[in-house]
Amino acid sequence: MESIEELFRKAIEDQVFTREERRTIARALQEEELDPKTLGHLKAQLFQMAGEEMDDMRNDRILEWLRQAVKLLVKAGKPIYDHQVYFSPGADCLRAICEQIQQTRSQLDICVFTISDDRISKEIIAAHKRRVDVRIITDNDKLYDRGSDVEQFAEEGIDVRVDQTRYHMHHKFALIDQKILLTGSYNWTRSAAENNEENILLTDQPDLVKPYQKAFQDMWRQMTPFQ
């Protein structure tokens, strides 16, 4: 309880409630699982903090801070998830993919129709070299497309599996450390970044991540190792 109050007091010092401060406090509230009586007491403390900070010159900023703080208490006990969306053409989708691969610490599962953007492939290989467990599922008909980097992945020692049907393995998603899902229409190609209307969704919501984990595992068992 005292630690959460301290977080609020620190956040009010500059009369601006930053996104990072809100996320930190929201997660602390979620972990504490405060009962209604404690939440009520904390709400009263917020009003006291705001009153202490108010003067004629800063009332609007303090009231906005108070609105954001009380909003966090209202949401306390509810899951706090992070969702981000990106669109192409442009560099946003490419940047999002590369940043997620760079931030991967232990496991990277990739299930993508085709991979031919060398900027992404470079990050995948770098992740493998820093001992991230990388697994790739891709479509067998796209293996030998111009620019495909699948053979290079296999040569680097990355586990790659492909389907062996006349149909396509057409998914485009990745799982980062089994906690973050990256999915959408975006193909991991240069044309997707430079020309196509595509999209990517990033989320850490477990209810969305888990079905993709299961789908990947099911396909991994069914697919054929690429030699």
Residues recognised as catalytic = 170, 172, 177
- Is the bond leading into 89 cis (omega within 30 degrees of zero)? yes
Contact 59, 175 (CB under 8 A): no
User: Own/partner pairs for 88-93, CB < 8 Å, 24+ apart?
Assistant: 88/186, 88/192, 88/193, 88/194, 88/196, 88/197, 88/198, 88/199, 89/193, 89/194, 89/195, 89/196, 89/197, 89/198, 90/193, 91/193, 92/200, 93/184, 93/186, 93/192, 93/193, 93/198, 93/199, 93/200
Neighbour order of strands in the sheet with 180-183: 83-88, 198-203, 180-183, 172-176, 107-112, 133-138, 159-162, 224-225
Cα(first)–Cα(last) distance of the chain, in Å? Answer: 57
